[in-house]
Amino acid sequence: MQSSGYDRRAGTKWILGAALAAAALAVLPGCDLQEGADTESGEQLFIQKCGTCHALTAAGTSATVGPNLDLAFRAARAAGFDQDTIEGVVESQIQNPRPASPEDVEVYMPANLVTGDDASDVAAYVASVAGVEGIKPPVFVAPEFFATNCGGCHTLSAAGTTGTIGPNLDDVLPGMSPQEVSESITDPSAQTAPGFQAGVMPAFSQLTPEQLRQLVAYLLKSAGQGAQP
């Protein structure tokens, strides 16, 4: 279950650049940056590329490697940032992310995790939901979570996915215990499947215990069952 993210150095907390935000305020108000953006695509890209590091209520992500975007942009909205300005800040951070601290430039978010229209879509999506009062998390549906976050890397016939970056789950999951499957999701570095590179799959720490239970149950029920009608 692979998605791009930050260098996961233990204990690292990211700080949204106030200087960048202030600069954005000076140049971006009045721009209609969201015109033509696809926020539905932006949501899926955010979950895949950013959700393993950032908390964002609307996306159902709760990771703590990077800043909590609801907290960061709730304060920004209270300070007078409009939606277009927030979008510009997000897109600038994607293109030119700041190090965790001036003293630790080795810990960073890779630049351009998404580019072009994809970056615009992610920025528009984040700007439309981050820090907005009353936003609710999505209902967790295990098959949808798997297809969005894991299907690009894993084959699971019941889900209709054919990824080859990670192990074929139809082959490796039958016979595994729920505890083993849970560990493979939350601590994939604990044991790497033969023939696959260690450290490629991120830990899905954003899952709540109940979401993890639902995902494990879905995987164990589906693995080896073939395509579903």
The answer, yes or no, to whether residue 132 has pLDDT greater than 90, is yes
Q: What pLDDT band is residue 2 in, cutting at 50, 70 and 90? A: very low
> Can you give the pLDDT at residue 92?
92
List of domains in the chain: 18-129 (1.10.760.10), 142-222 (1.10.760.10)
> Can you give the pLDDT at residue 155?
95
Highest mean pLDDT among 2-16, 20-34, 90-104, 157-171: 157-171
Residues 6+ apart with CB under 8 A from 140: 60, 208, 210, 211, 214
**Is the overall model pTM greater than 0.75, yes or no?**
no
Q: State the chain's mean pLDDT as an integer.
A: 81
pLDDT in tens, 192-218: 888 888 888 888 877 889 999 999 999
The answer, yes or no, to whether residue 229 has pLDDT greater than 60, is no
CB 24 within 8 A of CB 82: no
> Can you give the pLDDT at residue 196?
87
> Can you give the pLDDT at residue 171?
95
pLDDT in tens, 145-196: 898 788 888 999 999 999 999 999 999 999 999 999 999 999 998 888 888 8
Tell me the C-alpha distance between 33 and 127, whole Å. Answer: 10
